[in-house]
Amino acid sequence: MEYAIYVENLTKKFGNFTAVDNINFSIPKGTIFGFLGPNGSGKSTTIRMLCGVLRPTSGKALVMGRDVARETDAVRQNLGYMSQRFSLYEDLTVEENLDFYGGIYGLPKKVTAERKKELISMANLTGKEKSLAGTLSGGWKQRLALGCALIHKPRLLILDEPTAGVDPVSRRVFWEIIHSLASQGISILVTTHYMDEAESCDTVGFILNGTLINIASPRQLIDTEGARNLEDIFIKYVEQTTNQKVAGTIGDLNFLKGDDINEQR
């Protein structure tokens, strides 16, 4: 079986620090993979290696069957990437942003024009074509960034915390788009800190201190770990790794009410 992503003994060291430690995983085509872990656990480093931006210290990564290190350009031509910062040109209009990335991916003018139409309607941006990207609100920006990442019809989409800082409605709309893309056969790797989002993925993988702890479907994980939900599993893994209890639950924090805060000051 050919995988969308195939990672074997992938390691990245920065000097003495091992950011990604010998990880292995593979993602079948057309599925959504939720890549989970605390900040600084090695998610972004792994993603940067998958995009061919960082060279692995050892191990290999295949994207759509192609070696990232050796066929970087072919891999990139098949890959859409979107970061939490929605790296759009704010002084360019919606259309100009899409046109620009169309040109960067070498699409013929006609194809760009067609794709632009499709993506604008997918992202619900109809009527905003001539608006400057900088004037759009969070949700619009997020969907425009997704549109830019999809202009060249990539077969793998990598989303790095795409819903950070976006309101719940836009978050819902965004995930509907993600699921419809997956049903069209596009493979997706997504990182998120929202466990409800993670639970809707086909597979999730937990990475902690550069080590991949577990990888399975959300249902399976919850069953085998005997946990209530992914959030509990997340915390459990962090506690196991750091040998420290993650202090308190939301309930314990209830003393932080208006009057108490004023008294303490």
Partner 1 sequence: MSSADNRFSFQRFISIIKKEFIQVKRDPISLRLPFIMPVVMMLLFGYAVNTEVDKIPTAVYDQSNTEESRAFLDKFTESDYFMVYETVQSEDRIAQLVKSGDAKAGLIIPEDYSDKVKSGSNTEIQLIIDGTEPTTARTAMSSGQLIARGFSQKYTAEKLMKYGITPDKLTGISLKTDVWFNPDMESTKFTIPGLVGLILQNVTIMLTAFALVREKERSTIEQLIVTPIKSSELILGKLIPYIVIGYSGFLFSLAMCIWVFKVGIAGSVGLLLLLGFLFVYCSLSIGMLISTFAKNQMQAMIVMVFFLLPSILLSGFIFPREAMPEAISYLGYIIPLTYFLDIIRGIALKGIGLDYLWKDTAALLGFTAVILFIATKRFRKSLD
Residue 19 one-letter amino acid? A
Q: Which of 73, 252, 259, 263 binds partner 1 (CB under 8 A)?
A: 73
Asked if 15 contacts 48 with a C-beta cutoff of 8 angstroms, the reply is: no
Asked if 63 contacts 50 with a C-beta cutoff of 8 angstroms, the reply is: yes
User: What does the per-residue mask of binding to partner 1 show for 20-49, with x meaning CB under 8 A?
Assistant: ------------------------------
Nearest distance from residue 141's CB to partner 1, in Å? Answer: 12
How many angstroms separate the CA atoms of 234 and 208, rounded? 10
User: What does the per-residue mask of binding to partner 1 show for 99-138, with x meaning CB under 8 A?
Assistant: xxxxxxxx-------------------------x------
CA distances 191 to 19, 68, 94, Å, are 17, 20, 25
Q: Which of 23, 36, 49, 54 binds partner 1 (CB under 8 A)?
A: 54
Nearest distance from residue 53's CB to partner 1, in Å? Answer: 6
Site residue total, partner 1 (CB under 8 A): 35
**Secondary structure class of 1 (helix, strand, coil):** coil
7 vs 213, beta carbon nearer partner 1: 7
- In DSSP terms, which residues pair with 122 in a beta bridge? none
Scanning residues 136 to 155, which ones bind partner 1 (CB under 8 A)?
A: 148
Give the H or E element holding residue 230: helix 230-242
How many angstroms separate the CA atoms of 260 and 265, rounded? 9
Does 233 bind partner 1 (CB under 8 A)? Our answer is no
- In DSSP terms, which residues pair with 207 in a beta bridge? 212
Instruction: Give the binding site for partner 1 (CB under 8 A).
Output: 51-55, 69-74, 76-77, 79, 81-83, 85, 87-92, 96, 99-106, 132, 148
